[in-house]
């Protein structure tokens, strides 16, 4: 065995949160408190916890929707020191699927997916081609021109999944993606999400209340009162201990 294989280079986390806190109302509401979390490439993590424990806050901070009140965030080892550093990640390297889909109601399914690519400077014809291919991949090849209100909940969520992966992200954040769906649609959407995550080699943080979905993940973290109180990776995350 070579020296190299005895000492393999440690994998750099895609994203690392170091003592991250998020507060509201001048510090009165503490949504996240001293979060240390590293997410590695291709990892499938479930985030569990009671209502109000901080799951959505965690997604918002990891996706660059909310700025941490304190602490540090690193992307592939590089600190995101300025809020503007997130511009190259948001919706590009990091895709988000929301519980309530957040589709633009006046745009068709294919236009909603296209919108995600506008910021990348992709030409309209190419955007349309890629968006149609993505919708085909999520089983909506025959719904391209439908407006969101002419789609079922499950179909809307599939459009939003197509949108979330439009720029080939390395990390997908899914915040209770089946929370608004009936059981049959929820199962369909989750199977799709897991398949896409695996096929595309993305890491995924899946917020869920469903222990059976969490069991399909490689790793589970549990939040309580804004803190990670359980992490099945073996340690309550601190850098370099993986």
Ligand X SMILES: Nc1ncnc2c1ncn2[C@@H]1O[C@H](COP(=O)(O)OP(=O)(O)OP(=O)(O)O)[C@@H](O)[C@H]1O
**Residues in contact with ligand X by the rule CB under 6 A:** 24-25, 29, 31, 49, 51-57
Residues constituting the chain: 242
Q: Which does 169 bind (CB under 5 to 8 A by kind): ligand X, Mg ion, none?
A: none
Q: Which two tokens stand for residue 220?
A: 């589970």
Site string for Mg ion, 17-56 (x = CB under 5 A): --------------------------------------xx
- To ligand X, the closest distance from the beta carbon of 32 in angstroms equals 8
In the complex with Mg ion, which residue's Cβ is closer, 53 or 112?
A: 53
- To Mg ion, the closest distance from the beta carbon of 179 in angstroms equals 8
In the complex with ligand X, which residue's Cβ is closer, 25 or 142?
A: 25
In the complex with ligand X, which residue's Cβ is closer, 130 or 220?
A: 220
Three state DSSP letters for 19-80: EEEEEECCCCEEEEEEEEEEECCCCEEEEECCCCCCHHHHHHHHCCCCCCCEEEEEECCEEC
In the complex with Mg ion, which residue's Cβ is closer, 92 or 189?
A: 189
Q: Rounded to the nearest 5 degrees, what angle is found at the Cα of 149, between the Cα atoms of 148 and 151?
A: 65
- Helix locations, 103-166, DSSP H: 109-118, 124-137, 153-164
Beta bridge partners of 224: 227
Please identify the residue of the shown chain whose CB is closest to the bound Mg ion: 56
Q: Rounded to the nearest 5 degrees, what angle is found at the Cα of 65, between the Cα atoms of 214 and 157?
A: 50
- To ligand X, the closest distance from the beta carbon of 96 in angstroms equals 13
> Where do contacts with Mg ion occur on this chain (CB under 5 A)?
55-56
């Amino acid at each position: 065995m070579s020296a190299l294989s005895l000492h393999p280079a440690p994998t750099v986390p895609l994203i690392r949160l170091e003592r991250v806190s998020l507060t509201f109302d001048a510090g009165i509401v503490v949504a996240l408190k001293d979060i240390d979390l590293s997410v590695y490439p291709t990892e499938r993590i479930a985030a569990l916890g009671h209502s109000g424990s901080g799951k959505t806050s965690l997604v918002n901070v990891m996706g660059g929707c909310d700025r941490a009140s304190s602490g540090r965030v690193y992307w592939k080892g590089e600190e995101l020191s300025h809020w503007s550093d997130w511009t190259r990640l948001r919706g590009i390297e990091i895709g988000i699927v929301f519980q309530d889909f957040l589709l633009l109601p006046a745009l068709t399914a294919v236009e909603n997916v296209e919108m995600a690519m506008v910021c990348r400077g992709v030409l309209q014809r190419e955007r349309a081609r890629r968006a149609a291919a993505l919708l085909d991949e999520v089983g909506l090849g025959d719904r391209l021109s439908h407006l969101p209100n002419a789609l079922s909940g499950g179909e809307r969520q599939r459009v939003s999944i197509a949108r979330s992966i439009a720029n080939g992200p390395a990390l997908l954040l899914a915040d209770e993606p089946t929370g608004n769906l009936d059981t049959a649609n929820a199962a369909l959407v989750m199977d799709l999400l897991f398949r896409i995550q695996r096929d595309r080699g993305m890491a995924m943080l899946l917020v869920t209340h469903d222990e059976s979905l969490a069991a399909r993940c490689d790793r589970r973290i549990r939040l309580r009162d804004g803190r990670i109180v359980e992490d099945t990776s073996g340690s309550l995350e601190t850098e370099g201990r993986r």
